Amino acid sequence: MRYLRILVLLTIFAPTLSGQIEVLPKEYVDSIVKLARADTLSFYARARYAEKATTVAEAINYDEGKFQSRMAEGIAYLNVSQFDKALNSFQQAYQIGRALENQRSKAYSAYYLGNVKARIQLLDESMTSF
């Protein structure tokens, strides 16, 4: 519980100036993504943490963090039926996964990309994602 409180405080008071944000370690992004996946949070809160993780990962050019945060964003949006936002997050995650040349990342993002496309009735496109 103490770890969670510290993490929440760090997230709230994270530096937002571009010069300061670049010194944040990759572990900071990983911890925010972990918080975005916490079962104790609402999906809206998860989406906010995932967005914050994406912002930091992009600022420090941490590709794995970008992928994980985009996936966490997409899953949160999918669970609150914000399909357009989920689709955008999964498309970006898929592109990052391809750039990482990581088969597991590509497969994971392709699955969710197909899932959200099926939910918004893009059935032909969803078949190619799976």
pLDDT tens sequence across 55-100 = 999 999 999 999 999 999 999 999 999 999 999 999 999 999 999 9
> Is 50 exceeded by the pLDDT of residue 17?
no
- Which has more pLDDT, 128 or 57? 57
Q: For domain 2-129, give its CATH number from 1.20.1330.10, 1.25.40.10, 3.30.70.260, 3.30.460.40.
A: 1.25.40.10
Q: What is the mean pLDDT of residues 20-36?
A: 73
Select from 44, 45, 49 the least CA-distant residue to 30: 49
Residue 95's contacts (CB-CB under 8 Å, 6 or more residues apart) are none
Q: Which pair of structure tokens corresponds to residue 119?
A: 């939910």
Please give the Cα distance from 32 to 18 (Å, whole number). 18
> CB under 8 Å, gap of 24 or more: what pairs does 10-15 form?
11/35, 11/49, 11/52, 14/52, 14/56
Q: What is the pLDDT of residues 98-119, one digit of tens each?
A: 999 888 988 989 999 988 988 8
Q: What is the pLDDT of residues 32-60, one digit of tens each?
A: 887 787 776 788 888 898 999 999 999 99
What is the distance of C-alpha 4 from the center of its chain? 19
